[in-house]
Amino acid sequence: MLKKLSRHRALPGFGLSMGYTVVYLSLIILIPLAVLFLKASTLSFTEFWRTVTDERVVASYKLTLWTSFFAAFINLVFGTLIAWVLVRYDFWGKRLADAIVDLPFALPTAIAGIALTTIYAPNGWIGKYFAAMGIKIAYTPLGIMIALTFIGLPFVVRSVQPVLQDLDSRYEEAAATLGANSMQIFFKIIFPAIFPAMMTGFALAFARALGEYGSVVFISGNMPMKTEIIPLLIITKLEQFNYGGAAAIAAVMLLFSFILLFLINVWQWKTAKKQQMI
Amino acid sequence: MNELVLEVKFVSMKKWLLIGVALGFLGLFIVIPLLAVFSEALKKGIQLYFAAFNDADALSAIKLTLVTAAISVPINTVFGIVAAWAIAKFDFRGKNILITLIDIPFAVSPVIAGLVFVLLFGSQGLFGSFLAAHDLKIVFAVPGIVLATIFVTFPFVVRELIPMMQEQGTEEEQAAMTLGANGWQMFFRVTLPNIKWGLLYGVILCIARAMGEFGAVSVVSGHIRGLTNTIPLHVEILYNEYNFQAAFAMASLLTMLALVTLGLKSLVEWKTKKYVNGG
Amino acid sequence: MGISLKEVTKEFGTSRAVDNITLDIPTGDFTALLGPSGSGKTTLLRLIAGLEKIDAGTILLNGSDFSAKTVRERKVGFVFQHYALFKHMNIFDNIAFGLKVRPRKQRPSKKEITEKVMELLKLVQLEHTASRYPSQLSGGQRQRIALARALAIEPEVLLLDEPFGALDAKVRQELRHWLREIHQKLNITTLFVTHDQEEALEMADTIVVMNHGRVEQIGPPEEVYQNPANAFVYSFLGRVNELRGAALRGYLGNTIPNGDEVGYIRPHEIGLNRTLKGSSVPTEVSHVTRVGSTVRIDLKRLDLGHIFEAEMSTEKYRELGPVQKGDILYADLNHIVIFNGKNNTTQPVLENKTLRAAYL
């Protein structure tokens, strides 16, 4: 009885803009990615399994995973510290410090790569001191970790900063009037509030580190089984025209990244819901 | 009385300790690499610095980088504006899924980004035989580089614009409509001026990334000197040839662009804060 | 003529924000859409403006069917609660906007636009702000500019969505006067939405009382205030005391109150005496407050323990003599109006008591 006209919206242009968005998204992102999974599936299951469980491949998975994890963890700790210092304290040069936090985001990865290698090579600015002590940084997993720390630095800081800024000081004041000391206030009031943001930042830094190529490929030395990261292996397969193998390794990596991305979103959605209920 | 003084001293000691550690970390991880770039570039004197850019291969690398950015950035900017409009100003089911999909290039390794285009357009790729038959080259040629760059810089403008447009709401646009403006007038006279700073920042970020992209382009380009090398790829070549000074000289160009990007971000934040406080 | 709504309905999901409303808004009048949150008044306003699309029914303006026209085509002036001024344009450009976006043929010359804008700025008494930006003006000033901007396109109808909702109490008062003056000068059909019944009673020529997407009553303020059509209208406008159940004993003649009925009496309709008179109720004073030129007394019924409020002028209060907490006073509730919860049945009218049949 009531004729339902097509959903009218106050502002114009919805149909057009949505259409364009979906088409462009499909063309540039979705179809190419689908092709990758398609190619990976052209491998027989045994071939696929053999490729992704090859010794060298497994070594690179392990290396990529643990260096990324530790780099993200370092960023978790120091990133939170940096966010804290930027929000809570005033000091000369604060605005400058705040601005340069984003450098790893804006600087091309290859440049970061060569700069870091130059610094940490055995004859480098910092590397030479460690070389004197017999510690190698460049061309070892340690070097890889340093590069990944650089890359992930802004993520935790920029995740935690806004939350800290928006934190109502009234909660802390209330706690203080009730007799809590500053340690207790930190752990019982501030920390729980920034924990979700810390985790988001960590996950983003981790995800970023997993796929990182440009900054790592110079400092790692690319020794198979020792300092070879997954992206490099993919390139190696490509250069051998082993498209299927490259696709297989990439598919596994993509799946992992997507699951990570999905988990991040679910976590964010859940914590947002929980906080709304408060 | 003494206790109070000690307590205050302890608090301020703690504060400066924390600041010191934080700044130390930043200094180690960010300032030093920055200094390294410029110091290595200028190591052999300023004349040699400029000489690095006179090289034919260097110049063609610069040219290719600029062309790539000149194509991919406007395309992604238009997309960014259109998508942000659809997402920020309307409510619809599946909005979150759409946003997540747009974020995909952030989660994908740049090498994989390059890989997908090789799988599509490479000689063994899906369209490989078609392209060969028509004598079209995408992979190992400029079009491939542009495509890979578009993929990688896809989300930058959208992600800058969405929160901004969402925060501004739709009332000004509704007001414009009641005053008789049509869709385009409303967009150009009301919406666009309100987002101009965020748009500028998103575009600059997009440019910086487009010019600096390494992994994806590396896979797709074929590294043909003088033809399919962008600045970052050229830097890699020079570095691998141990021509450090020239490598860092080229690198310094993009580093300066990165610093400009950072400066612009501060400017945008300052400007938008002005709007938020005032309007 | 004027705005005519016929069987207009709007649904959001499964709920009806506007439920089959048929309404005629008189031309030239200053009409208030009054109701609580969720009553559908803002939705109705936006339907008339074209900012929402109706699901059923028709909207006519001066006889022509507006239902299919877009916002642009309707040429209605709309003033938003939060002004919606274009923050990146100065005041002059804000007001000139509607004129500048007209299609080329209908666009006035630059000179004409300037004249019109300055004329409007003069009307709203803000000539000196022409080159300023919205962020530099106060809330009250912004709303006046928003009005000037809406008037620039010479609309046939002016729609205001809780225009003073975001302003301080004092500013609200000033703007109420001012808006009425403007309306008297221009005589445009004006429709404004408010949840503040005091505002509606003070400003409007006609009040449309809405609840749950329906029109409860429409009429001039005195009519709606003194002869409310049902319990909702009675209780929504002005202050009321509500009486139910046992409290209604004696006011229903021979009928025993069965819980469906509700009785209302306004504080100033309660007579207070020191001595028992007729059927007045004994009460104990629990609180006395002076508000401006009236005195409010909170009273507790000695029989049932309910508390209700009486109000009187300072003169009448003085006649009572000084009243203190704990004093016994006798309250005369004869002006009570009772709604019986059933549709369209009348109860026997008893001495000094009126029963009104209504739907609750």
Least confident of B28-32, B156-160, C278-282: C278-282
Per the CB < 8 Å rule, is C86 touching B176?
A: yes
Average pLDDT of the residues of chain B: 86
Quick check: C82 contacting B, CB < 8 Å?
A: yes
What is the rounded (10 degree) CA torsion for A198, A201, A203, A205? -140
How close, in Å, is residue C56 to chain A by CA atoms? 6
**Interface membership of A5 toward C (CB under 8 Å):** yes
pLDDT score of C99:
92
The average pLDDT across C278-302 equals: 89
- C contact chains, 3+ CB pairs < 8 A: A, B
Please name which of C202, C200, C188 lies closest in space to residue C3, comparing C-alpha atoms: C188
Among A102, A238, A262, select the one facing B262 at the smallest CB separation.
Answer: A102
Q: What is the mean pLDDT of residues C274-286?
A: 86
Residue A7: per-residue pLDDT: 55
Q: How confident is the model at residue B278 (pLDDT cuts 50, 70, 90)?
A: very low
Radius of gyration of chain C measured on its C-alpha atoms:
25
Of B26, B244, B266, which has the smallest distance from its Cβ to A82's Cβ?
B26
The pLDDT of residue B64: 92
User: Do B189 and C97 lie within an 8 Å CB cutoff?
Assistant: yes
Pick the residue from chain B with its C-alpha nearest to A94. Answer: B23
Contact C49 B178 (CB under 8 A): yes
pLDDT(C330) > 70? yes
Instruction: Decide if C78 and B193 are in contact by the 8 Å CB cutoff.
Output: no
Please list every residue in chain C whose beta carbon sits closer than 8 Å to the beta carbon of residue B279: 87, 134-135
B89: CB partners within 8 A, 6+ apart: A11, B165, B170, B173
Against chain B, the chains showing at least 3 CB pairs within 8 Å are A, C
Confidence of residue B7 (pLDDT cuts 50, 70, 90): low
Looking at the complex, report in whole angstroms how far the Cα of residue A226 sits from the nearest Cα belonging to chain C.
Answer: 58
Of A202-216, C238-252, C297-311, C321-335, least confident by mean pLDDT is C238-252
**Does A10 reach chain C within 8 Å, measured CB to CB?**
yes
Say whether pLDDT at B77 is over 90: yes
Interstrand relation of C281-291 and C294-301 (parallel, antiparallel or unpaired): antiparallel
C88/B194 touch (CB, cutoff 8 Å), yes or no: yes
Neighbours of chain A (3+ CB pairs under 8 A): B, C
pLDDT band of C126, cuts 50, 70, 90: very high
A187 Cβ contact list (under 8 Å, min separation 6): none
CB-based contact, C1 to chain A, within 8 Å: no
Q: Chain C: residue nearest B191 by CA?
A: C86
Query: Using CA atoms, how far apart are residues B216 and B238, in angstroms rounded to an integer?
Result: 19
Q: Are C71 and B155 in contact (CB under 8 A)?
A: no
pLDDT of residue C142: 94
Q: Which residues 14-53 on chain C approach chain B with CB closer than 8 angstroms?
A: 49-51
- Decide if pLDDT at C219 tops 80: yes
What does DSSP say about strands C307-313 and C328-332: parallel, antiparallel, or unpaired?
Answer: unpaired
Calculate how close chain B gets to A255, using CA atoms only, in Å.
Answer: 10
Task: Please give the backbone phi and psi of residue B258, each rounded to the nearest 5 degrees, phi first.
Answer: -60, -40
Chain A residues 206-265 with CB within 8 Å of chain B: 207-208, 210-214, 218, 230-232, 234-235, 238, 241, 243, 246-247, 250, 253-254, 257-258, 260-262, 265
| Strand ranges (E), C55-202 | 56-61, 64-65, 76-79, 157-161, 189-194
Query: Nearest 5°: phi and psi at C230?
Result: -155, 180
For Cα atoms A210, A212, A215, give the angle at the middle one, nearest 5 degrees.
140
User: CA-CA distances (angstroms) from residue B39 to A101, A217, B42, B46?
Assistant: 21, 22, 5, 11
Residue A33 to residue B213, Cβ atoms within 8 A? no
Cα–Cα distance, A172 to A174 (Å, whole number): 5
Instruction: Express each pLDDT in C76-114 by its tens digit.
Output: 999 999 989 998 999 999 999 999 998 888 889 999 999
- A242-A247-A249 Cα angle (round to 5): 100
C-alpha span between B246 and C335 (Å, rounded): 99
Residue B276 has pLDDT above 90, yes or no: no
Low-confidence ranges of chain A (pLDDT < 70): 1-9, 272, 275-278
Residue pLDDT, tens place only, A194-248? 888 898 889 889 988 998 999 999 988 888 878 888 888 888 888 888 888 888 8
CA torsion sign for A33, A34, A37, A38 is: negative
User: What pLDDT is recorded for position C254?
Assistant: 65
Range of lowest pLDDT (A58-67, B218-227, C192-201, C297-306): B218-227
> By CA distance, what is C149's nearest residue in B?
B179
Mean pLDDT score, C217-240 = 88
Give the 3-state secondary structure of residue C189: strand
Nearest to B202 by CA among B81, B32, B58: B81
| pTM across the whole model | 0.80
Do the Cβ atoms of C72 and B180 come within 8 Å? yes
Q: Which of B36, B100, B186 is opposite residue A119, by nearest beta carbon?
A: B36
Interchain CB distance below 8 Å, A2 and C53: no
Note whether B25 contacts A81, CB cutoff 8 Å: yes
Residues of B in contact with C86 (CB under 8 A): 172, 175-176, 189-190
Q: What's the confidence (pLDDT) of residue C359? A: 32
Q: Is the dihedral of CA A98, A99, A105, A109 positive or negative?
A: negative
* Separation CA C143–CA B175 (nearest Å): 13
Which has more pLDDT, C348 or B159? B159
Q: What is the DSSP string of chain A?
A: -----S---SSS-HHHHHHHHHHHHIIIIIHHHHHHHHHHHTS-HHHHHHHHT-HHHHHHHHHHHHHHHHHHHHHHHHHHHHHHHHHH---TTHHHHHHHTTHHHHS-HHHHHHHHHHHHSTTSTTHHHHHHTT---TTSHHHHHHHHHHHHHHHHHHHHHHHHHH--HHHHHHHHHTT--HHHHIIIIIHHHHHHHHHHHHHHHHHHHHH--TTHHHHS---TTTS--HHHHHHHHHHTT-HHHHHHHHHHHHHHHHHHHHHHHHHHHHHHHHHHH-
Of the pLDDT bands very low, low, confident and very high (cuts 50, 70, 90), residue C117 is very high
Cβ-Cβ contacts under 8 Å, B175 against chain C? 78, 80, 84-86, 149
User: Using a CB-CB distance cutoff of 8 angstroms, which residues of chain C are in contact with residue A10?
Assistant: 51-52, 71
Which among A1, A2, A5 has the least Cβ separation from residue C53? A5
Q: What span, in angstroms and rounded, lies between the C-alpha atoms of A167 and A276?
A: 15
Whole-number pLDDT of residue B3? 66
Per-residue pLDDT at B4:
67
**For residue C354, pLDDT beyond 60:** no
A276/chain B closest Cα distance in angstroms:
18
A4 interfacial to chain C (CB closer than 8 Å): yes
CA distance C277 to C295: 22
Specify burial of residue C278 (Cβ count, 10 A radius: 0-12, 13-18, 19+). exposed
The pLDDT of residue B275: 52
**CB of C273 closer than 8 Å to CB of C332:** yes
pLDDT digits (tens, 9 = 90+) for B227-251: 788 999 999 989 989 888 889 999 9
By Cβ distance, the residue of C11, C53, C56 closest to A8 is C53
Please give the interface size between A and C, counted as residue pairs whose CB atoms are below 8 Å apart. Answer: 15
Chain C residues whose CB is inside 8 A of the A4 CB are 55
Nearest to B180 among C84, C89, C101 (CB): C101
- Establish if A11 touches chain C: CB-CB under 8 angstroms: no
Once rounded to an integer, what is the mean pLDDT over residues B54-76? Answer: 91
The minimal CB distance from A2 to the residues C51, C56, C71 is found for: C56
Of A21, A105, A119, the CB nearest to B86: A21
- Please tell me the predicted confidence (pLDDT) of residue C38: 87
